[in-house]
Chains A and B, each alone.
Chain A
Amino acid sequence: MSAPRLEGRPPQAGPHTHAPRPRLGDMALVNIALLPAALWAVYLFGWPALNLLLVTLATALLAEAASLWLAGKPVRPHLSDGSALLTGLILALSLPPWAPWWIGVVGGLFAVVVGKQIFGGLGQNIFNPAMLGRTALLVSFPLEMTAWVTPRPLFTEHAPSFVEGLRITFVGLPDLDAVTSATLLDTAKTAVDQGGTIHGATGELFAGIHAFTGLTGGSMGETSALLLALGGLFLIWRGVIGWQVPAAVLGAVALLATVFHLIDPDRYLHAGHHLLSGALVLCAFFIATDPVTSPATRLGRILFGVGVGVLVWVIRTFGGYPDGNAFAILLMNALVPLIDHYVRPRIYGRDRRGAPLDTGKEGGR
């Protein structure tokens, strides 16, 4: 007997009918939302930043394609979902803009191959690939990963020319110290470590507005909190990400920073300094919201976000590294299965405890 066949058009209503996917998937929208910040970073840091960005993106895409081919999966559909591109983009934005080319290659390879494809590809990874790549780089090459150049916008006097840009990325900087400067968090930490207060250190050098627009030294993408925040709000408006995670991350950091700043303003940075650092904004809107590595429920996501925020603040304030976004994300990624175990969505038609809802007409009673 053969199975019954559907004649004519398939039924249009039913539990399995789904809307066709929009032309632009969520991943593509996230990429687009990150684009202004990326372009601004390229403008601020010139040709070397563009070189590094392109190297990182190319590595991420090639590594993805090679892993898919090795695993015997169709390359084109998986590659065009935009996830490898996004991983590369976030990774590049978290790198120092004048880092040598091999930083981008090693980071991209590590992020995509070890961070994602080893686990079975998109949707299977436990840890955020880009943050895994960044952490591997930071642990292995602390010198290159903390060389923050001061911004030299394209087409201005001090900006490196195209040829110089190629040399910076592919040969290396002759004298790193001449062009680098400390970031806000670095300066504050050093000042406190040396027994001083953070006022003198952060006062005029880092007016908050500079961090907001991006005119400070830092990672490629952490310099402009404004463009990152706008991109994030765009994603919330389009419904790609929920508001819960960004709000929880930023809220937790703001609360902790404010409380401690009130207790001892000489030791602890003002909440504004924390919130205006683009790294936190990037982390809150684009990294912590990764659907694969964050919890499934709204409450779970709030818990996750609060955890990330608390860890970021703790690592920034007490840790040995200047910034803690990547570590905070990875640590909370590891807790996601636990959060999902305890915070479960209500089953449809049942209450939170799993008992059937009393509809009033059950069994004719």
Chain B
Amino acid sequence: MQRIGVFVCWCGSNIAATVDVKAVAEAAKGQPGVVFATDYQYMCSESGQTILKDAIKEYGLTGVVICSCSPRMHEATFRKAAESAGLNPYMVEIANIREQCSWIHKDMEVATEKAIILAKAAIAKVQLNKPLVAGESEVVKRALVIGGGIAGIQTALDIAEAGYKVDIVEKQPTIGGKMAQLDKTFPTLDCAACILTPKMVDVAAHENVTIYSYSEVVDVKGFVGNFTVQIKKKPRYINENLCTGCGACTEKCPMKKQPNEFNMGFDKRGAIYIPFAQAVPKLPVIDADACLMLKNGKCGLCSKICEAHAIDYTQKEEIIEERYGAIVVATGFNQIKPTQFEEYAYNTCPDVVTSLEYERLMNAAGPTKGHLQRPSDGQRPKTIVFIQCVGSRGDSCREKSYCSKICCMYTAKHAMLTKDHYPDTDIHVFYIDIRTPGKNFDEFYRRAVEQYGVDYIKGMVGKVYEENGKVMVQGSDLIDNKQITIAADMVVLASAVEPDPSARSLGTMLTASMDTNDFFTEAHAKLRPVESPTAGVFLSGMCQGPKDIPETVSQAGAAAVKVIGLLAKDKLKNNPCVAACNQSVCNGCSQCANVCPYGAITYVEKEIRTPEVREVRRVAEVNEAVCQGCGACTVTCPSSAMDLKGFTNRQIMAEVDAICR
């Protein structure tokens, strides 16, 4: 019989306001094995932990139950405290009477009853707990950053600067991401290229950084400190070692009608192309869907013109396997194409553009060399209407539920930059709310209104249609309580941002959790904002939620620090709650090995001796360093040979029995 101590936490009023904590402690006292029970205002505080430590010593406790918040919050805290008092940390169990009880109930009587039941279940479990000892595993001193936008670049640079090797995997032919497409950046209006391209060069030149451009992560195995990742290098059809990046090939290509993705399709590129002048690596890539030589073996002009003999039409995709200690997700975002919003006429009217498209039309390096021309006829637009919150903040299937966060600011930026270039332009902005919570942000927006005379209209646009060469915008002006129609030359839609579509499959590969919008979830919204709940996986930039450049860069640095903290360790303590096989009942069916996501189960021929049998049999063996304790094998095993330490079948059943008693 264990000697169990039960500690009921008030969590200030979080628990105590809904659960009668004294009654829970009283009820616990009557349970088998319980030799001590008490309640305290904040168990996690210094003095709360002292109560725990003192009780362990005074009563010779062999097991502890803390009735408090979720184990995800403070299990580690209490285990550490118990360990310092000489108790095996895995003899501590948490009964979650906050998230799963006090926070979701209003009636004190009901909540107290439930809290007592949860406490009883935990007591029943701890009766069967066994001391567990954590093993150790080595840390591979190399980090992987997935995504080469500003988030990935900054994270990689910071990790590399600390002296660790880091690889960037970027699916596009160049790093730089969305920021490379931007004109100027709020709130200080420095040009994106001027601040980004030096960083691109720095990261590429850094001795600790390897860039896999035009590559994708296709498989991830392993666990924190020791991931094995397969990277697919797509064929560029260019020999990277020979190519000088002169660009002669791109000029001779006869297939010059391909929409240029970098300029949002406003101009054309060849089948062989360099995405933009400052691309890193500065290597061309052949678009296999457009290249005549690759499609039907006729042409080969680029190969003939290339003095370096760098064109290689026979290049095949390549799989690279590398081991990493930590993985940073920096997959970024896309701006949605508002094709489902027929009321804004994006599909039918060429002069209705998204803000990212407008960004290219304004950019000195863009398709119009920075001269603002409307797409339909190349005329300079005199009246421009900006529409905010297109596809954001809604609750129908067309819209995203969240605020895209960056649109208010970049629209103010667009308005001011346009007015700077062409002061006679009339600019109207339809908005629902203006959200500018950032340093110097509101001042920036007010400047658009007060100094530049941009007309901000509180209200939303209901309909956009073409009439006599104008784009008519009908919307409401809620302050004047009027419906108004503006004859515009151009309409710019601040359409919502969404996570890059590659994020979903990557999340599955990494077993990193995501929210319903496919943004990666952080381990704790406030206290662990750059870590995924999956150990060893970190988050940087927009993949975690909408954010602007300053925020992205700070988060990127924070993620790097977490990675450095991990890589600085030589060994990591493993989770001892791993699967174990009772080989005397294992029948060697392989079902556990098939469901194991970590490849932790192997089969061995082994002599089995029991009072009944003595034979050589094929049985399962668990590699404890690889097992992550997910428990998939234990529920799959048809003969109950697999069990999870710390969560054995007997322990779970004892909990269920205690609840039902």
Q: Report whether chain A binds chain B.
A: no
A interface residues with partner B (beta carbon < 8 Å) = none
